[in-house]
Structure 1
Amino acid sequence: MLNLSGFRILIDCPLDLLAITIFSPVPCDVGIEAYGQNDQSSIQKKQKLERQMTPDDLVSAEPWYKTVKTLHLWEVSLIDIVLISNPMGLLGLPFLTQNPRFCAKIYMTEATAKIGQLMMEDLVSMHMEFRRLHGPEDSSFPWWTKNLDGEQVPSVLKNLVFGENGDDLGSWMRLYSLDDVKNCMKKVQDVKFAEEVCYNGTLIIKALSSGLDIGACNWLINGPNGSLSYVSDSIFVSHHSKNFDFHGLKGTDVMIYSGFSCLQSAEMTDSDCISTISENNDERLTASLLDNEESLGELEKLAFVCLCAAESADAGGSTLITITRVGIVLQLLELMSNSIESSSLKVPIFVISSVAEELLAYANTIPEWLCEQRQEKLISGEPSFDHLKFIKDKKIHLFPAIHSPNLITSWQEPCIVFAPHWSLRLGPSVQLLQHWRGDPKSLLVLEDGISSGLGLLPFRPIAMKILQCSFLSGIRLQKFPTLLSLLKPKIVLVPDVVNQRINLSTVKTKSILSYSENKMLSVGRIAENADVEIMAELATKLSWKKLRQRENFGIARLKGDFVMENGKHRLVSGLDQEGSSGKTRSLRHWGTVAPETLLDALMKMSVIGSIEHRRGENGAEGKSIIYITNPSGGMIETSEMGTAITTDDETVASKIFQAIDGILDGI
């Protein structure tokens, strides 16, 4: 949550989907007696004092969903702006928008809005399927938490439910409905990459591609007090979405980095950092960031998944792919189909999802959100992704649910199935995993992040081969100092857990600050004085007065309105120069009046007087009084608080005013 120029800005509102692994999937027919004591899983690496977890430890109830911590305590009416960086950051937003006091402006890219809405609809569809099988629950309180507070409950379950400090219980909520999703999306203002939108005439907001996935972005915010960039997990070179547009983030006053995927890489050494920063030429820095080593490594991982699936099919086993990242799924579908077509294998590919047909069709209609290679394919008359032709040739089959009649008639094994998993607790992957878990020839492909211990607990013993993939999901730790050297922000904000893993001492920036969860961090204003735009027509009418106390500094007086437009202070047209209407106005002065200097100026005007200095208490500086005796009486009293003039003679008062005007700067 940011507080910028008096506006509260929420960036992303995700769900903790890993937390629903505490629930038992449906159907779940594995009990303690079926749980293999000789299983070599990571679960057996628990401390000896803690008993081994079994499927019966999981919560057998309708799943609740864990939102952003303390979301239930937020006063949503105080949120002014919501910025969504990627589809996953959208999944928790309906919990906010269903509150009648929510009135914030929501910004996200068009692609994020479309893909995120489809993901939410798919989640609701799978949850409703769970309710049909398990039965609905009307309780407004998660009653099952009472059973997880005992001493015998495994600590991993307690931590997921209550948090390390026991304050996460309020984060659990019942899932929203399809109507909530639709009402949420009605409040969204979608934007294109690099499109500027103005909020309240004060903030200029722009989305720039992050390269993480289709439509994913970083944010650039310009306001009257400076510029701020928000950089989340980003990928420099992508084979499906637009590359990371880091050039648009150069030179901001404040940069907030929120990427946590870099923690998966090794720690930085001093030599790594120094060798990177020494290349201070922008072209060299850019080239080092855009090297294709990472992207080629990602293609090799995808090719390896295809190879493993082909080997399983050749041995008579099926493959279940539960990866949910849209870009990875699209590339895998393409590579898998091409691989099967070029081989002698005749293996059908099934995609089972309530939104599969709409999502795959949409992916071939959005070239502006894709990488250059995909755009060039579309220009040359080919589809952006090859899955389109395989769907037409009936080599890829799309079905909304596992119980679809057409799927039952088309089903054959071995096969390759793409199915969303939502932490292996909802959706078609649950039934398929139950079906194949005892087949050693079959393959399960998981994305890194799903615990093979808790995630697969309900399905053990499992004989399937398991391939857990770690795809690139952000900026590698070794490249972060190089990125900072290229962007040159004045102040950098880094998560404390990242700051502990990296040496940024050689990065040339004004300040590097670390922030942590649930702690407020205040960042001072970079620019002491804000810039003001004056229209040329108005500027030519101003009568500039050169100041005595500041050389080469001019000042003019005018009347009119001082407004904020498009994030900038402006003096709008139509303002009148002082005196243009023929009316006179009193001058304003500033500075300190020295009594001796003032008396000398008065004596040159034939005004005679004397000075009396009075000390304050305890020897402190007091006040000075000039007594006017000729041509008439009067008194001028000066102190730290100000200057007071007393006289009954208008001529004397006029001369005193002229003397002060000759000493002090004023307009």
Structure 2
Amino acid sequence: MLDCTLDLFELLNFFPLPLVYSERLSSTPFCELNNFTSNEQSENNIFREIIGRILIDSLPLVRIPETKLVDFSMVDVLLISNCFSFLSLPYLFEFGFSGKVYATEPTKQLGRQLMEELCEFLYRLPTPSKNWRDESILQSLPECAVKTLTDVNSWKSFYKSDDITSAISIVQGISYGQKLDLFGSVQATALSSGYCLGSCNWLMETKYSKIGYVSSSSTFTTHPCPMERQSLLSCDALILSSLTNAPSANPDTMLGELCTKMATTLRGGGNVLIPCYPTGVVYDLLECLHTFLDNAGLVGVPVYMISPVAKNSLSLANIYAEWLCEAKQSKVYQPEHPFPHAEFIKSGRLKHFPNIYGDLGNVYQTPCVVFAGHPSLRCGDAVHFMEVWGSSSKNSVIFTEPGFDYLHALTPYQPLNMKAFYFPIDPCMNFFVANKLLKELQPQVLITPTDYLPSAAQTQKDTTCLQPEMPFYGVKRGSVVKVELASKYKKIEMTSELASTIFPQEINPGVMATSLSGLLTIRSGNNKLHPLPHPKPKNLWGHTNAQSLIEALKEHGITDIVLDKKNNQDIVQILGGKASVCFNDGETIIQNCHDEKLRLLLKDMLLRQLIQL
């Protein structure tokens, strides 16, 4: 199994979880349920309606991976590509998974930080989980809600801290280039993908097949090790997924516009909120901000990173130097911290806090820049800042995560006076880069989501889709695709007992050959050839010819020999017709020989012309 991503997009269907009581949020009207009495309505005040959108006022749920399509108890190995593809791991154990899990060490640790942060956001305040999935309630909702609330019975509450600890304990850390022997049948290798700290693509090799899995990957020069492509050349099959969620947005351009809007806001006396994850792009944003504030004359502006895992995340980034690009690795030997945020913290310009309580109140000053979660604006400390700063047009909220629709994220905060900007920064490959990569890698077969492939209305030069020049398979959610690989061979191991019976013979100058018969056994993907209980006779190799037979007969004292040629056949007449040997193309026949001693003599002379293999 490759990756276990968690679908967090459903969080947008829920009402925010404020850290302190919010009169404005609490006064958001409830949705009127069709065919419900006033008493029934008051008992089921679960859905709030704002600007035509229905939000569920209950503990948020998430959509877990497909459970009907896959029997997780049959999965032997799970290979994880990056920390964002890690979040469903605790759920797999509920459905019988007991296999091995492999991930790079940064992926393991940063994935844990993401799990723990969201767990803390959702459970640090008591929030009732209401029974809103009753069929009678769902059918009474307006049509706009019915369209967005699909397959709700597959949504589940987020796991708890103990589940995280249990899941992380079985993950085995690996290094780039380390070859994993999976049950003797597959060899898996993690290759740097260039997306985030410790992220990787996977190369899976059998004896005669080579399969590549390219997940979230980037060719931009940022903090991770650059993408390794050489090992993925000429795969028998290439699985390509997780291209950018913002194909038309160049990350460098977005970063420049973000800095411009940030400077305008700060110079106007306003504050800037950046809802974000505690790892990934945030490291590059902090590095850029460090330089930008200096150059913009905004040295005195404080920057706050608020997350339950902020301290751990910032520390881990500087600990895993060997997983960074060469430029950052070299700083370790100078010695310097790979990321400038360490100096940023040391100087007091960047401060991190686990939450908005306690020490933050002692140093908090405005105008400032705040990095806080969650990017969905449905939980976490970002909810508090939206409430505090939302009424002033001086302030700005800047969205950089493309995984959430920012307009939907802002819905419960309307009407909103603070300015909102959307500058998606997604370093993953876009279609143009992916098409170049496919031309470079030249896989025999491509497997990719159907949404990435061109539709009937798109042209060959369209840059908003893949343009594969090799055979491809499109995959839809819930579908099963059978892929035929071109491999025709299997590796077979020969036992030493069988090998000792083989004696190759030279059949041509420099060419040795032998025949081989054995008993083939197949067990756990390994093929082994054993000796036969009753060995078969050996095979013969070579050609017989008339001239060699005549010379052998003469050496034996038989000189009454006549050579005739008829219809492209050589016929040797012996002793006045007592016997004859007919040499056809690929066939030699002893004819008219009634003398048994002579027949055996002729047979022996002909066999001497051949090689026994």
TM norm structure 2: 0.75
2:106 maps to 1:111: yes
Q: Check conservation: 2:114, 2:278, Cα contact below 8 A.
A: no
Q: What's the CA shift string for 1:63-107, capped at 9, x where partnerless?
A: 111112x326743211122121111111111111245x3211111
Structure 1 residue aligned with 2:7: 16
Tell me the alpha carbon deviations over residues 344-365 of structure 1, each in whole angstroms, 9 at most, x when there is no partner.
5411111100000011011001
Do the aligned partners of residues 392 and 265 (structure 1) sit closer, same or farther apart at CA in structure 2, a change above 3 Å counting?
A: closer
- Aligned mates of 2:273, 2:490 — CA distance in 1: 58
Matched residue, 1:324: 277
Counterpart of 1:212 in structure 2 is 195
- The one-character-per-residue Cα deviations of 1:619-638 (angstroms, maximum 9, x if unpaired) are xxxxxxxxxxxxxxxxxxxx
Q: Distance in 2 between matches of 1:537 and 1:214?
A: 51
CA distance in 2, matches of 1:104, 1:195: 19
Q: What RMSD over aligned residues (CA atoms) do the two structures have, in Å?
A: 3.6
Q: Following superposition of structure 1 onto structure 2, how do residues 310-459 of structure 1 map, counting pairs within 5 Å?
A: 310-324=263-277, 326-342=279-295, 343-403=297-357, 405-447=358-400, 448-459=402-413
Provide the secondary structure at the position in 2 that maps to 1:11: coil
Letter in 2 for 1:108: A
1:587 — aligned with what?
536
For normalisation by structure 1, the TM-score amounts to 0.70
SS in 2 for 1:116: helix
- What is the distance in 2 between the residues matched to 1:508 and 1:152? 46
Is the contact between residue 98 and residue 184 of structure 1 (CA under 8 Å) also seen in structure 2?
no
Name structure 1 gaps, 5 residues minimum: 1-9, 36-50, 163-167, 267-293, 579-583, 591-654
Q: Which residue of 2 aligns with 1:63?
A: 60
In structure 2, distance between residues paired with 1:506 and 1:111 = 34
**Aligned residues of 1:314 and 1:345 also touching (Cα < 8 A):** no
Question: Of 228, 236, 254, which aligns to 1:253?
Answer: 236
Amino acid at match of 1:247: Q
Of stretches 322-331 and 519-528 in structure 1, the one that deviates more from structure 2 is 322-331
Secondary structure at the residue paired with 1:310? Answer: helix
1:127 aligned residue? 122
8 Å Cα contact 1:212/1:238 also seen in 2 = no
Q: Tell me how far apart the structure 2 counterparts of residues 18 and 433 of structure 1 sit (CA, whole Å).
A: 19
Assess, with a 3 A threshold, how the Cα gap between structure 1 residues 111 and 588 changes in structure 2: closer, same or farther. Answer: farther
C-alpha distance 144-91 of structure 1, shift in aligned 2 (>3 A): farther
Aligned in 2, Cα 1:479/1:461: closer, same or farther, shift over 3 Å?
same
Q: Render the CA deviation track for 1:95-141: whole Å, top value 9, x for unaligned.
A: 11245x32111111111111000110111111112x43x3x44x7x6
Q: Following the alignment from structure 1 to structure 2, what is the Cα–Cα distance between the partners of residues 353 and 189?
A: 27
Shift in Å, 1:474:
2.1
Distance 2:213 2:83 in 1: 17
Relative to structure 1, the CA distance from residue 589 to residue 331 in structure 2 (aligned partners, 3 Å threshold; closer, same or farther) is same
What corresponds to 2:227 in structure 1?
244
Q: How do residues 470-485 of structure 1 correspond to structure 2 at under 5 angstroms? A: 470-485=424-439
Secondary structure, counterpart of 1:65 in structure 2: strand
Q: Helix, strand or coil: the match of 1:454?
A: helix
**Whole-Å Cα distance in 1 between the matches of residues 257 and 52 of structure 2?**
32
User: What is the CA-CA distance between 1:206 and the residue it aligns to?
Assistant: 0.9
**Alignment map for 1:169-208 (pairs within 5 Å):** 169-208=152-191
Query: 3-state DSSP class of the match of 1:240?
Result: coil
Distance 1:479 1:119 in 2: 29
Write the letter of the residue equivalent to 2:181.
Answer: C
The question of whether the paired residues in 2 share the 8 Å contact of 1:224 and 1:568 is answered with no
- For structure 2, the 5+ residue unaligned runs are 30-47, 540-599
Gap change, CA 1:127 and 1:94, over 3 Å in 2: same
Q: What is the CA–CA distance in structure 1 between the aligned matches of 2:74 and 2:432, rounded to whole Å?
A: 39
TM-aligned CA deviation for residue 185 of structure 1: 0.7
What SS does structure 2 have at the residue aligned with 1:189?
Answer: strand
Query: SS of the residue aligned with 1:71?
Result: coil
Residue 59 of structure 1 contacts residue 144 of structure 1 at CA under 8 Å; is this kept in 2? no
Q: Distance in 2 between matches of 1:537 and 1:207?
A: 38
- Between the aligned residues of both structures, percent identity stands at 26
Contact 2:50 2:412 in 1 (8 A): no
CA 336–535 in structure 1, closer or farther in 2 if over 3 Å, else same:
farther
**Contact 2:213-2:239 within 8 A present in 1 as well:** yes
In structure 2, the partner of 1:97 is: 93
